[in-house]
A = this chain, B = another copy of it.
Amino acid sequence: MDKLSYTLKDVAERAGVSLTTVSRVINKRGYFSEKTKSRIYATMQQMNYHPNSVARSLSGKKTKLIGVILTNTHNPFNAELLEKIELELFNREYKVIIANSSDNPQKERAYISLLQSNQVDGLITASHNTIIDDYHELTLPVVSLDRYFGPRIPTISSDNFSGGQTAAQILIDGGARRLLVFSGEINDTNPTMDRTNGFIDISKKHNMIPIVQVMPSDATVNFRKMLIRQEILKQKPDGIMATDDTTALLVLEELRIMHLQVPHDVQVIGYDGSDFVLQSFPELSTIVQPISDLAKTLVDTLIKKIEQPDILQERQYTFPITLHRGASTN
């Protein structure tokens, strides 16, 4: 009768060596002869042996596991970021445990504790709850997207302020005078604040003060749509920025229903520029974040912190944004 899974000892016995030797061969560490090496490989193959990385981690101290904390996975920006992070980590032989905070500080907290218990080697956080204290207590390597946690945790972001500025400039250059912003929750852990501030900055330079409507993060889609409709009716804007593309798409949708012409009656610009949105809705003008660069830098920085903890690194990486001009702006 086969065992469910074999151990080092089983392999060792079958190959007629000690388990130390097998371990050495597997880890390519220390001395062993070519002959025993191939014999051991053959035996492992034959037994379909898979080293137990739980045991390995327990003695070796590394799990090769990275926790990735996101707000959610359905937003295309997050989805693509996650995919690219996963790819980068896979290439470095790390695995990822996902943790959706669902905009719920409690859940984020629970996950931080869980991930710590699971001995992840590091953490990438791209959520935006205001629970910075929990991160400060962590002793393991962390890198953050957008959210600033103090000098010990590197922050990787794209230039949100400048993105907001660019968006405003585009709308104003296109002739907009009544500006409206649909923004995510505004607090200093949330990059949408910088975007909105950048937008306000340029608006003011043109003697305009945009109306800012915050979208509650726990709002349902229908509620969002209602808010959008209501605000458009009330403000009669001719230029709208949404601080993320999914909201921008909802805006376009509502404008269509209201029979307002884009960009003739109202210009619209979004934010994020995920590949999916760029490809499927090229009409939407949007501020494009360099998702691949962000993912790569998050991973590079984290892995360096893990594997070479003594090397000093930048505390902050800010990537420039780009603009995608679609037909939704002039």
Contacts and interface: CB of A to CB of B under 8 A. Distances in A.
Interface of A: 4-5, 48, 50-55, 57-58, 63, 65, 72-74, 76, 79-80, 82-83, 86-87, 90, 95-100, 102, 107, 113-114, 116-119, 137, 139, 221, 246, 249-250, 253, 274-276, 279-282
A63 B65 CA distance: 13
A1 to B, nearest CB: 13
A6 to B, nearest CB: 11
A292 B81 CA distance: 23
Contact of A102 (B48, B51, B87): B87
Contacts of A52: 58, 117, 119
6 contacts: A50-B113, A54-B54, A87-B100, A95-B114, A96-B97, A98-B98
Oligomeric state, in copies: 2
A111 B29 CA distance: 24
In the complex, which of the residues A52, A73, A80, A281 has the most CB atoms of chain B within 10 Å of its own CB atom?
A: A73
Contacts of A90: 100, 107
Contacts of A72: 83
Nearest to A118: B53
Contact of A276 (B65, B100, B246): B246
Contacts of A5: 139
Contact of A58 (B58, B79, B87, B280): B58
Nearest to A56: B117
Given A4-B139, A51-B117, 15 more contacts: A52-B117, A54-B54, A54-B118, A54-B119, A55-B58, A72-B83, A74-B274, A76-B79, A86-B98, A86-B100, A87-B100, A90-B100, A97-B98, A249-B281, A253-B280
A249 B281 CA distance: 8
A280 B76 CA distance: 12
A119 B53 contact: yes
B100 A98 contact: no
Contacts of A48: 137
A99 B139 CA distance: 27
